[in-house]
Amino acid sequence: MFRIVKTKDDCAKFDKSGKMQGRGAYICSLDCLDKVKRSSRLQSALRCRIDEDTYSMISESLSACLGRTMIAGEE
């Protein structure tokens, strides 16, 4: 599970540490992120508007994190 957090300035960010302050929501995969994007569930959960650029940044961060997880799991 990966955490997305709404910061004090009402921005949604990928929380690499899982410890950032702010309202959070958990995403399990890129497919899950795509589903909540289409249904606006992430915006509802975080109570903020999330634009396309922010979704792209979250997706890139999640992809990078998933890539490291898979590589670490193969070792």
2 Cβ contact list (under 8 Å, min separation 6): 14, 15, 26, 27, 28, 62, 65
pLDDT tens-place string over residues 18-41: 999 999 999 999 999 999 999 999
Question: What is the model's pLDDT at position 66?
Answer: 86
Residue pair 65/21 in contact by the 8 Å Cβ criterion: no
Residue 13's Cβ-count burial label (10 Å; 0-12, 13-18, 19+) is middle
Q: Does the pLDDT at position 75 exceed 50?
A: no
